[in-house]
């Protein structure tokens, strides 16, 4: 199947082609946690790159629960004008533009000064890096009800701002993913125990979001095909959750994998298993896609047109691309013109895996920041230098965030 063939979604909407700009954490909000001029510049570059779908990086549903201090928050109408500008830019060349909605749960940085919420009091295990994250408090029934409502509210606001869809983030070890995993969800009430109970939050959020938006507004879910942790959420669990999601009006299911503890989304697994260099989750996703009644998208390491074609030929509807589009935002346009481009970052093979994961994210964010200033990416940047710059930037944004939250 041609990557440039349109995809019709269950709700009647159409994506112009089968390639999506996958979500990457930009951390480029302004001082009010609203979309900034830097974000506008970044998404202008991607809009001109001709992907059929653009997905934002994390947009948080609660400013007290952030994946990073420079994150965008959409919880009320205070900055809706800025979101409208962002939506116009993202849609300016004809792409669908969807907002990724998220809550970090226990993956909340300790230095932000906020109470981390989680299904259970299970802290992150990252060795000496564990102290970087706040100790989580188990969520009450009221906490859970509030989170469900916040997802729905943010989705309705995204539609009001002019976005064409939302993606509910239930992967990568964030809050909904924490409820799905038996390693992080040790509850004994209706939200824990059996997989049916552990999936209850995801299904409740999907239902609430769908009810809060119009039928033509797209609702997608990002789900782990596996957590890549022994005893965690695995492919069999994912298969069953997909079967439950089949009964929900979902327009696209994105499959990825991993978490902060096992960053498989960067091509590494904590237990040392080798993952394919490109399309890390392709084989597993192909099996899971056969269960899904909605279109499936796979994301993870794709950077060559031949791999996109392999993904589509396996029965998967869309290929999501992240890092490669941080290096070459015009990649899809170049492929359409017949150019055989395959941008790649040098691998970071440091012995301390959590530090290597931080450096990998820092190198990508370095490229995003250059694009946001109208400059060309620098794939050859030193990982050490990128990490130092990122830590300094996060420290400054953290001070800014704490000061704003103390008012």
- C-alpha 136/C-alpha 118 separation (Å) is 6
**CATH number, domain with residue 30:** 3.20.20.70
- Kindly state the tokens that stand for 151: 């997802």
Q: Tell whether 393 is covered by a domain.
A: no
CB 117 within 8 Å of CB 141:
no
Report the number of secondary-structure helices (H) and strands (E) in the chain: 13, 14
Report pLDDT digits (tens) over 173-200.
999 999 999 999 999 999 999 999 999 9
Q: Tell whether 147 is covered by a domain.
A: yes
C-alpha dihedral sign at 250, 254, 255, 257 = negative
pLDDT in 10s for each residue of the chain, 407 residues: 899 999 999 999 999 999 999 999 999 999 999 999 999 999 999 999 999 999 999 999 999 999 999 999 999 999 999 999 999 999 999 999 999 999 999 999 999 999 999 999 999 988 888 898 999 999 999 999 999 999 999 999 999 999 999 999 999 999 999 999 999 999 999 999 999 999 999 999 999 999 999 999 999 999 988 766 777 888 899 999 999 999 999 999 999 876 676 654 444 433 333 334 445 567 778 888 899 999 999 988 889 999 999 899 989 999 999 999 999 999 999 999 999 899 999 989 998 888 998 999 999 999 999 999 999 999 999 999 999 999 999 999 999 999 999 98
Query: pLDDT at position 338, please?
Result: 94
Query: pLDDT at position 18, please?
Result: 98
> Which residues are CB-neighbours of 70 under 8 A, at least 6 positions away?
26, 27, 28, 29, 393, 394, 397, 401
Residues in a beta bridge with 222: 169, 254
Secondary structure element (H or E) that encloses residue 87, with its range:
helix 80-90
Q: Tell whether 372 is covered by a domain.
A: no
Q: Tell whether 323 is covered by a domain.
A: yes
Query: pLDDT at position 284, please?
Result: 77
Spatial CA neighbour of 11 closest among 171, 164, 172, 190 = 164
CB 262 within 8 Å of CB 356:
no
Rounded to 10°, the helix 200-212/141-161 angle is 40
- C-alpha 372/C-alpha 128 separation (Å) is 33
* Domains contained in the chain, number: 1
Q: Phi and psi at residue 364, in whole multiples of 5°?
A: -65, -45
Residues in a beta bridge with 170: 223
Domain that includes residue 266, residue range: 7-345
Q: Tell whether 333 is covered by a domain.
A: yes
Which spans in 215-352 are helix H? 235-245, 282-289, 305-313, 323-327, 331-336
Q: Tell whether 23 is covered by a domain.
A: yes
Query: pLDDT at position 261, please?
Result: 66
Q: Phi and psi at residue 383, in whole multiples of 5°?
A: -60, -35
Rounded to 10°, the helix 141-161/80-90 angle is 60
Beta strands in 80-129 (DSSP E): 96-102, 116-118
Spatial CA neighbour of 62 closest among 191, 151, 162, 156 = 151
CA distances from 127 to 130, 178, 223, 271 (A): 6, 19, 26, 15
Q: Tell whether 360 is covered by a domain.
A: no
Q: Tell whether 394 is covered by a domain.
A: no
Would you report the helix, strand and coil content of the chain in percent, each value rounded to 5? 40, 15, 45
- C-alpha 216/C-alpha 219 separation (Å) is 9
- C-alpha 234/C-alpha 177 separation (Å) is 12
């Amino acid at each position: 199947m041609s990557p440039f063939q349109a995809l019709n979604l269950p709700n009647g909407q159409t994506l112009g082609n089968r390639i999506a700009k996958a979500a990457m954490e930009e951390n480029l909000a302004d001082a009010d946690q609203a979309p900034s001029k830097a974000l506008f510049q970044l998404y202008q570059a991607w809009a001109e790159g001709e992907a059929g779908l653009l997905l934002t990086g994390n947009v948080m549903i609660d400013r007290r629960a952030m994946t990073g201090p420079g994150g965008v928050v959409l919880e009320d109408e205070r900055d809706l004008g800025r979101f409208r500008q962002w939506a116009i830019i993202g849609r300016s060349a004809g792409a669908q533009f969807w907002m990724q909605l998220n809550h970090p749960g226990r993956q909340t940085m300790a230095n932000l000064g906020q109470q981390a919420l989680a299904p259970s009091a299970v802290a992150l295990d990252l060795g000496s890096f564990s102290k970087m994250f706040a100790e989580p408090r188990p969520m009450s029934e009221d906490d859970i009800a509030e989170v469900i409502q916040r997802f729905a509210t943010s989705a309705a606001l995204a539609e009001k701002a002019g976005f064409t869809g939302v993606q509910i983030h239930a992967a990568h070890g964030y809050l909904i993913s924490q409820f799905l995993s038996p390693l992080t969800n040790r509850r004994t009430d209706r939200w824990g125990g059996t997989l049916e109970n552990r999936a209850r939050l995801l299904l409740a959020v999907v239902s609430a979001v769908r009810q809060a938006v119009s039928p033509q507004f797209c609702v997608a879910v990002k789900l782990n095909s596996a957590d890549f942790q022994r005893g965690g959420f695995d492919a069999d669990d994912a298969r069953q959750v997909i079967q439950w999601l089949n009964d929900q009006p979902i327009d696209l299911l994105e499959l990825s994998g991993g978490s902060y503890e096992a960053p498989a989304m960067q091509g590494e697994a904590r237990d040392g298993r080798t993952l394919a260099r490109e399309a890390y989750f392709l084989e597993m996703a192909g099996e899971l896609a056969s269960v899904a009644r909605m279109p499936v998208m796979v994301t993870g390491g794709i950077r060559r047109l031949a791999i996109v074609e392999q993904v589509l030929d396996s029965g998967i509807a869309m290929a999501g691309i992240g890092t490669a589009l941080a290096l070459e935002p015009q990649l899809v346009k170049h492929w359409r013109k017949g150019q055989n481009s395959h941008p790649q970052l040098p691998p970071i093979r440091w012995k301390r895996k959590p530090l290597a994961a931080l450096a990998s994210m820092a190198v990508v964010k370095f490229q995003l920041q250059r694009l946001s200033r109208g400059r060309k990416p620098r794939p050859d940047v030193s990982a050490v230098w990128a990490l130092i710059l990122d830590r300094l930037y996060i420290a400054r944004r953290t001070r800014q965030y704490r000061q704003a939250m103390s008012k």
